[in-house]
Chains A and B, each alone.
Chain A
């Protein structure tokens, strides 16, 4: 069955970077866009951007431009989201999610989430 399995919790200091992984199981990885959505403690959902695993094309929410990089490794069906210049307000659970079709950006499967804590 379809599963997205994310890497574990991370703690970083302000100014550092973090890279979260999302490994896909049960479907053709290159056939579906992967999106990243974050959720600060007790807050709502915030979309960050997507990657097309087939060709590596990306689109980022303007707020994260210059700080976020989304990549993929098709040989291991894994997508990555790297966020740099971390601040305390980047503390959040980071989710990867699959969009079921090209240009159809609702999310039918989600990873379990990876908590990133930014603290000095």
Chain B
């Protein structure tokens, strides 16, 4: 199975500052035939299901503010929040879907708080 390792495990950032979360995959999730990275990012707030933020490593999901961006390729990926808002406090997960039909795997999560 592909293992996704996120860093850091937790992060405290001041309002208005940049937050960066990393996700490293144990093997490449770039599918050369489709020229796509099979990686997504989710935001989960307490008591809520995860919410899709980014798919194909860098495509923002519908309705997601443009302060959220995804980058990277192959085995190393980054989620960036350009100017942190109070409502961005949450746990963030990366997920690979390269190894379909199974299994899908998630990173362990990164908790983002306000400094």
- A residues neighboring B (CB under 8 Å): 35, 44-47, 49-50, 59-62, 95, 97, 103-108, 110-113
Contact = CB atoms under 8 A, between A and B. Distances in A.
CB-based closest 8 A-B pairs: A110-B49, A106-B40, A105-B97, A47-B104, A45-B106, A106-B55, A59-B102, A59-B101
Nearest to B104: A47
A62 B105 CA distance: 13
A35 B102 CA distance: 11
11 contacts: A44-B107, A45-B95, A45-B109, A47-B105, A50-B102, A61-B103, A97-B49, A105-B97, A107-B40, A107-B52, A113-B49
Contacts of B101: 50, 59, 103, 105
Interface of B: 40, 42, 49-52, 55, 61, 93, 95, 97, 100-109
Nearest to A105: B97
Classify the interface of chain B: helix, strand, loop or mixed: loop
A106 B51 CA distance: 11
A20 B101 CA distance: 22
Contacts of A49: 102
Contacts of A105: 97, 100-101, 104
Contacts of B104: 35, 47, 105
B32 to A, nearest CB: 16
A112 B47 CA distance: 9
Given A104-B97, A105-B97, A60 B102 contact: yes
A44 B40 contact: no
A15 B55 CA distance: 38
Contacts of A61: 102-103
